[in-house]
Chain A
Amino acid sequence: MDPLEQQIRDAFSSITFADTDKNVLEADIVYSLEITQNRADAVVVVDQEFESFTSGLTDELVTALKSCDGVDEVGINVVGSVQEAQQLTGGPVESANAHQGHDHGPGEGHAPSPAKKNYLGEYGEVILVASGKGGVGKSTTAVNLALALKAQGKKVSLLDADIYGPSIPAMMGSRGEFSEVVGQQMLPVSRHGIEFMSMGNLVDEDEAVVWRGPMAHQVIEQMLRDTQWPGGDYIIIDLPPGTGDVQITLAQMTEASGAVIVSTPQDVALLDARKAVKMFEKVTIPILGMVENMSSFVCPHCAKETPIFSTGGAKEESEDQEVPFLGAVPIELAVREGGDNGTPVVLSAPDSLAAKAYANIVLELEKSLAEEA
């Protein structure tokens, strides 16, 4: 063993880990240690239960490393799990203690079977609500589907993945409220019996989120990983419009049960809805069906139906694409008012045509899920 390594081991063995009677080597918390010239960088894994000891421990490690010959600068990176440490160091690196007989899967020197790194595993079904075009009513659909599922006795959470234009806080009535942070975890906001996370409850609503793709990717991962999701039957994810970074990130990091495509009946919206269908095919996320939003306008005075954005287009498109058609939601004042007031139509006007349409869509959605299972 080289003299510096011996020196570091000696120094580390005199540091007691948290309130245990083990030293940091015995506790096997040092994931990796790299020395480049006069700088030492260590990745340390501290389980959540010992989180409160982190800062004291970091100070002790820094002092210990600086006492070693030739080390002037020290960087300590504390993470919550071995998986995070692997990500940070770009792969499974053996820890200082690993050579002493940790078993790494079957056989001599062979890689272990692949790990499942999927977030939101605490939910029975992970449903993505998507569209090709913006403004077709994805968020309205997402909140009303969530509430309609809730009305059936299901336990439901919501994730607003539209980080650039989060609408869920306004629709659920949580504008101006901020997610609480406990330790390194965020707590979801709760309204109408549904827990949800949204960029709108993390940054001030007058602030603009101006990020390139890699940042978007990171914040989505944080919302998936660092949120204390309560778990349940369903989590509905409201995607941003289009087929971009956030959609790909979510497809890679969760094991989605399927996607619901929202479109208005117009050709321009349907054209892009087709693109969304194709994207999900590429990442093999089943299409659970299409919802036609703003289907037609029923006049509250004369009860005459006017197809403002045309009607029936999404039904035809779903037949062309061979995906199920889940239902059509009419244009009603109550839908818009419910969304703006923070009490979506399923709750605020349960007898409206739209609320009934959502209840039906949920039944169709469950049928579609049962076929996929």
Chain B
Amino acid sequence: MARLPSKYRPKDIFYDGAMHIIFFDGAHCVYQYWDLRTACTCASCIHEITGEKLLDDTTVAEDIKPLGSEYVGNYGLKINWSDGHSTGIYPFKGFRDSYPHETRQVD
């Protein structure tokens, strides 16, 4: 059991109206802010026990955007959203496997 495979390890992350992640395997993925905010899996957005979604997507503003973010240990990213929500940790795996995104190029 080694560390995460390179396809899950971000090399660079930046924001320019969308979120961009360049992974160690060369993929450049682009995520829309609204899609990420509504995909939050923290305990106040998803019920801890039943797994039921508690967040009503219609309450998330169209112009939602990140104000800041920070890496969490080896495994994820915490995003501080403009609606004041900041409890979600987005695991790096999710950025390739679950969150909606568009892959621009793979070198």
Contact = CB atoms under 8 A, between A and B. Distances in A.
A282 B74 CA distance: 10
Contacts of B26: none
Nearest to A253: B73
Interface stretch (B36-44, B47-55, B60-68, B98-106): B60-68
Interface in A232-259: 251-256
Contacts of B89: 252
Contacts of A116: 70-71
Interface residues on A, range: 20 to 34
Contact of B70 (A117, A251, A256): A117
Contacts of A113: 12-15
A286 B1 contact: yes
Contacts of A107: 15-16
A92 B15 CA distance: 16
Interface centre among A252, A286, A287, A371 (most CB of B within 10 A): A252
**Chain B interface residue bracket vs A:** 20 to 34
Contacts of A92: 67-68, 80
A91 B17 CA distance: 19
B70 to A, nearest CB: 5
B75 interface: yes
Interface of B: 1-4, 12-17, 65-75, 77, 80, 84, 86, 89, 92
Interface of A: 86, 90-92, 106-107, 110-118, 251-256, 277, 281-287, 321-323, 371-372
Given A92-B80, A252-B72, A281-B1, 10 more contacts: A90-B84, A106-B14, A110-B15, A110-B16, A113-B13, A114-B71, A116-B71, A277-B1, A285-B75, A287-B1
A109 B12 CA distance: 19
A286 B68 contact: no
The 10 closest A-B pairs by CB, nearest first: A114-B69, A284-B75, A111-B66, A111-B15, A286-B3, A110-B15, A252-B73, A91-B80, A251-B73, A92-B68
Contacts of B86: 90-91
B73 A256 contact: yes
B71 to A, nearest CB: 5
A111 B15 CA distance: 6
B71 A372 contact: no
A112 B19 CA distance: 11
A111 B81 CA distance: 10
Contacts of A114: 13, 68-71, 77
B71 A115 contact: yes
A113 B74 CA distance: 17
B68 A111 contact: yes
24 contacts: A91-B86, A106-B16, A110-B16, A111-B15, A111-B67, A111-B69, A113-B13, A113-B14, A114-B69, A114-B77, A115-B71, A117-B71, A251-B74, A252-B73, A252-B89, A256-B74, A284-B73, A284-B74, A284-B75, A286-B1, A286-B2, A287-B1, A371-B2, A372-B3
